[in-house]
Amino acid sequence: MAESIDSLVARIEDAKSRIQESQNSLTDLRGNGISIREGMVGPGEGKVGAKRIDFKAGYAEVEVDERGARISSGLLQGSVENVEGRLGPLGIRAERIDFKAGYAEVEVDERGARISSGVASVRGEGSLIKEYDISTYEGKVGTWEDANGNTRGGFSGNFRGARTEVDLANGLNLPEENVLEVELGAGTAAVEASAGTDGFSFGGSADLASVAITEGTSSAEIENDETTRIGANLGPGAGVRGHWDDVDGDGFREVGLGADVPLPAGIGISLDVKTEDPLRTALNSIDGGLIPDAITDAILPEGNLTESTVNLFGGSIRDENAPNA
Ligand SMILES: [Ca+2]
Ligand SMILES: [Ca+2]
């Protein structure tokens, strides 16, 4: 009797360790997709691990209801969460990466129509690569929502031969509030006339090549964030933009203006400034950049100068109901 209990315990222990093993390294099938948890892959010293990988291959989904029709198909679509690892000298980490390849998506409903297709698309969160697109066609008309939940109305058309947005602040492990991004494009074209909850865009361009750098801060802990985006492109184009989104959700909208200006010889420049504290930004730029911001910031009072000035007249620019206010 004692022996059979011992062998029963041994068999339970054996089963437990085999379950643990399969949880650590194997897959479970969900629908027509596969999800892998706690997997590690990579040769020799280079190892990249992810807490969770979901993907589906060769998929086609059609949804038709009283609100409209959605068709989505592609060769591959998926996401990777909590990526961490090292490949040679390169440290790799990402909170989440979404990817799709050889895809086509069509949505038609009472709000309008949205069509997008492409060879490859990658969207990263907390990752070095923020956006990566190859041969993408996109068209929108009516009203639509962007990835940040903002609503826009109007129309927008895009072609991207190759375009990438690199989050250098993340790659260089800069403090979380820092924004340092580089955008590179080759063979891109865009036309847009839209306005919505985060701003407006009006203009068109066709670029052989383009580059842009965005620098500044963005944090719910800072109430006078400012970012500047400077770009240059080869090709015709002109446009104006208005910004009034609250990306960090601290109740202070990042307001600003942007423009694409064509210069002779087919070269164009692009400039966008966004600020949570327009009065401070205006005072800082009054000298035409001759006096470094560090000096004017030392003279000006801390906090949001626009808010404290508007407060004097009994008003406020802060939205107390913002998620991080
Ligand atoms: Ca802020
Ligand atoms: Ca804000």
pTM for the model: 0.82
Centroid of ligand 1 to alpha carbon of 301 (angstroms): 17
Centroid of ligand 2 to alpha carbon of 76 (angstroms): 36
Give tens-digit pLDDT for 74-126.
999 999 998 887 776 667 788 999 999 999 999 999 999 999 999 999 999 98
The verdict on residue 274 lying in a domain is: yes
**Residues 36, 55: contact at Cβ < 8 Å?**
no
- Mean pLDDT of the 271-293 span: 88
Centroid of ligand 2 to alpha carbon of 125 (angstroms): 19
Residue 17: the pLDDT is 78
Helix-then-strand count for the chain, H and E: 5, 14
**Ligand in closest contact with the CA of 253:** 2
- CA 307 to chain CA centroid, Å, is 29
Taking the C-alpha atoms of residue 127 and residue 308, their distance in angstroms, rounded to an integer, is 36
Distances (CA, A) of 123 to 110, 128, 133: 28, 10, 9
Residue 155: the pLDDT is 97
Ramachandran class of 294: left when φ > 0, alpha when ψ lies in -120 to 50, beta otherwise: alpha
Centroid of ligand 2 to alpha carbon of 218 (angstroms): 7
Q: Which domain holds residue 131?
A: 38-312
- Mean pLDDT of the 189-210 span: 97
Centroid of ligand 2 to alpha carbon of 169 (angstroms): 19
Domains in the chain, number: 1
The verdict on residue 324 lying in a domain is: no
Residue 312, pLDDT > 90, answer yes
Residue 137: the pLDDT is 97
The verdict on residue 300 lying in a domain is: yes
The verdict on residue 250 lying in a domain is: yes
| SS (HEC) of 175-220 | CCCEEEEEEEEEEEEEEEEEEECCEEEEEEEEEEEEEEEEEEECCC
Give tens-digit pLDDT for 175-196.
999 999 999 999 999 999 999 9
Q: How confident is the model at residue 18 (pLDDT cuts 50, 70, 90)?
A: confident
The verdict on residue 216 lying in a domain is: yes
Residue 55, pLDDT > 50, answer yes
Residue 205, pLDDT > 90, answer yes
Centroid of ligand 1 to alpha carbon of 184 (angstroms): 26
Instruction: Return the number of other C-beta atoms located less than 10 Å from residue 40's C-beta.
Output: 12
- Highest-confidence range of 27-36, 37-46, 83-92, 93-102, by mean pLDDT? 93-102
Centroid of ligand 1 to alpha carbon of 95 (angstroms): 22
Roughly what angle, to the nearest 10 degrees, separates helices 278-285 and 305-312? 110
The verdict on residue 28 lying in a domain is: no
Residue 42, pLDDT > 60, answer no
Element (H or E) spanning 2, and its range?
Answer: helix 2-25
- The pair of structure tokens assigned to 281 is 């930004």
The verdict on residue 20 lying in a domain is: no
Centroid of ligand 1 to alpha carbon of 164 (angstroms): 26
**Residues 111, 93: contact at Cβ < 8 Å?**
no
The verdict on residue 18 lying in a domain is: no
Centroid of ligand 1 to alpha carbon of 123 (angstroms): 24
